[in-house]
């Protein structure tokens, strides 16, 4: 248990500050295969080779290794509803009693996801033992999507797999299962100028390693949201959320409760608008409050803004800032000042390049005394670039570079030595995608 707690301490900068999805969207999609009369499945296969200079996200004794990554992705979607063909002769002769009515879809759905297998190409047994199989499955189904009252059910399942820091034994990993379930009832009267929704969301975080089960948690939240489309390209919204947070299972570490319970409340207003054909703006302003059963809580603003500028017909840059407080699996909560930037540029008809930079000032508060000091402050930086070249409509070459930096003031003692979980890690990969 002592070692598992130390893994959690070192992983504080690992689990939460990731700023890019582990499962990137496919750059190509094939024609797919019909499944019955109303569905089409789109499979995609991929392979990459590459290199990382820090397998274990460690500051001292980082291990370098080659990488082999295999990917299998799929999406299953409803076919587009097409109107019945109209005889042009009837139109010319004026024999149609009324204009053709566009068919309305009664059910809209899309399922998708993928598997990602990572193999470490090295002679070091303890590194090869970190081979992982990640999983990401998403789906939603909406009944009566074009009616005044629509109902949506969605689910997002992720198996997050990463090598642990040096405290773990040979082959030990801290793989994490994250599941989001959501139900939404939406009212959208004719004209779509106003709308509202009532939603319930459930999130479960579970570690596969039983020694880390003390960190399991569950969050249930209830929300109300209203939308008002004042102009064709301007929408205002207001929302309110009330949640229940708590440990899941034993929730015990060294005779103390690891995850404290809370009932966070947050609400606010926002706007999404297109100022011109070149500028887009998103902004929100609100307040968030949570008092935990033990340790520090928060009572602070919740705000953010995003500005997009299309500097060329095929190029766009986006800058954003958020200040938020959220429940943390490693502490009561974390506080972020997050600055982000992204550039998307298409070069010719087949090459798409993307670059991003993220700077996060992160503070963890309410860390359990069983782990150490109650607070931690990190500087997290992520730099990345991705390029894809489409050789055919169903075949593409891809390349990606990413560097993550986490510098923290949080240290602990392990077997008589100081453990500083700060790290710098770079990963470079290149490969192919084939869609069917």
CA angle centred on 337, ends 334 and 339, rounded to 5°: 135
**Could you tell me how many helices (H) and strands (E) the chain has, helices first?**
4, 23
Q: What percent of the chain has pLDDT over 70?
A: 84
Give the per-residue pLDDT at 93: 52
- Four-way CATH pick for 2-20+41-79+105-435: 1.10.287, 3.30.300, 3.10.580, 2.40.160: 2.40.160
Q: What is the mean pLDDT of residues 244-268?
A: 91
Give the per-residue pLDDT at 63: 86
| pLDDT for residue 250 is more than 80 | yes
Give the per-residue pLDDT at 3: 46
Q: What is the mean pLDDT of residues 407-412?
A: 85
Taking the C-alpha atoms of residue 378 and residue 9, their distance in angstroms, rounded to an integer, is 13
Query: What residue ranges do the domains of the chain occupy?
Result: 2-20+41-79+105-435
User: Of the ranges 137-146, 156-165, 267-276, which one carries the lowest mean pLDDT score?
Assistant: 156-165
SS3 content of the chain, % helix, strand, coil (to 5): 5, 60, 35
Predicted confidence (pLDDT) per residue in 201-219, tens digit: 999 999 988 888 888 999 9
| pLDDT for residue 318 is more than 90 | yes
Q: How confident is the model at residue 94 (pLDDT cuts 50, 70, 90)?
A: low
> Which structure tokens are listed for 37?
């009369």
| pLDDT for residue 12 is more than 50 | no
User: Of the ranges 16-25, 57-66, 292-301, which one carries the lowest mean pLDDT score?
Assistant: 16-25
> Which structure tokens are listed for 266?
């947050």
Listed in sequence order, the residues at least 6 apart from 311 whose beta carbon sits closer than 8 Å to its beta carbon are 278, 317
Q: What is the mean pLDDT of residues 244-271?
A: 91
Give the per-residue pLDDT at 98: 52
Residue 29 has a CB neighbour count (10 Å cut-off) of 18
Q: What is the CA 18 to chain-centroid distance, rounded?
A: 9
| pLDDT for residue 30 is more than 70 | yes
Give the per-residue pLDDT at 298: 98
Give the per-residue pLDDT at 312: 95
Predicted confidence (pLDDT) per residue in 162-186, tens digit: 776 545 544 566 789 999 999 999 9
Helix (H) or strand (E) holding 2: helix 2-10
Give the per-residue pLDDT at 284: 98
In contact, 23 and 114? CB cutoff 8 Å: yes
Question: 400 by DSSP, 3-state: which?
Answer: strand
Decide which of 167 and 317 is more confident: 317
User: Of the ranges 83-87, 239-243, 293-297, 324-328, which one carries the lowest mean pLDDT score?
Assistant: 83-87
Q: Produce one character per residue of 203-227: b if its CB has 16 or more CB atoms within 10 Å, e if not.
A: bbbbbebeebbbbbbbbebebebeb
Give the per-residue pLDDT at 137: 95
């Amino acid at each position: 248990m002592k070692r598992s707690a130390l893994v959690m301490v070192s992983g504080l900068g690992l689990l939460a500050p990731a700023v890019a999805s582990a499962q990137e969207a496919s750059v190509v999609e094939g024609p797919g295969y019909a499944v019955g009369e109303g569905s089409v499945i789109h499979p995609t296969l991929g392979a990459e080779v590459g290199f990382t200079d820090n397998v274990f996200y460690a500051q001292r004794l980082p291990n370098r290794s080659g990488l082999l990554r295999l990917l299998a992705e799929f999406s299953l979607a409803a076919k587009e509803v097409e109107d019945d063909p109209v005889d042009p002769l009837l139109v010319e002769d004026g024999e149609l009693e009324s204009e053709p009515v566009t068919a309305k879809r009664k059910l809209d759905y899309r399922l998708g996801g993928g598997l990602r297998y990572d193999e470490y190409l090295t002679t070091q047994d303890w590194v090869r033992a970190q081979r992982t199989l990640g999983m990401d499955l998403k789906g939603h189904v909406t009944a009566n999507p074009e009616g005044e009252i629509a109902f949506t059910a969605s689910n997002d399942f992720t198996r997050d797999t990463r090598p642990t820091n040096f405290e773990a034994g040979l082959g030990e990993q801290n793989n994490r299962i994250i599941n989001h379930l959501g139900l939404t009832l939406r009212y959208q009267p004719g004209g779509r100028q106003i709308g509202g929704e009532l939603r319930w969301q459930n999130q479960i975080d579970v570690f596969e390693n039983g020694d880390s089960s003390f960190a399991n948690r569950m969050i249930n939240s209830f929300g109300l949201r209203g939308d008002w489309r004042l102009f064709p390209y301007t929408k205002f919204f207001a929302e309110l959320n009330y949640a229940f947070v708590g440990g899941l299972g034993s929730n015990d570490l060294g005779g103390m409760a690891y995850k404290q319970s809370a009932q966070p409340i947050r609400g606010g207003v926002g706007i999404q608008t297109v100022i011109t054909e070149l500028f887009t703006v998103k902004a929100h302003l609100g307040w968030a409050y949570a008092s935990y059963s033990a340790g520090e809580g928060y009572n602070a603003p919740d705000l953010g803004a995003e500005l997009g500028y299309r500097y060329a017909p095929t190029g766009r840059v986006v800058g954003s800032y958020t200040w938020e407080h959220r429940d943390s699996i490693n502490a009561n909560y974390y506080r972020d000042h997050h600055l982000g930037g992204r550039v998307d540029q298409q070069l010719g008809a087949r090459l798409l390049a993307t670059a991003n930079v993220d700077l996060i000032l992160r503070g963890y508060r309410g860390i359990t005394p069983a782990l150490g000091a109650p607070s931690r402050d990190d500087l997290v930086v992520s730099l990345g670039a991705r390029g894809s070249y489409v050789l055919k409509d169903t075949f593409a070459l891809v390349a990606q570079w990413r560097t993550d930096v986490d510098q923290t003031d949080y240290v602990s003692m392990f077997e008589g030595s100081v453990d500083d979980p700060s790290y710098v890690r770079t990963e470079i990969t290149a490969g192919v995608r084939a869609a069917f």
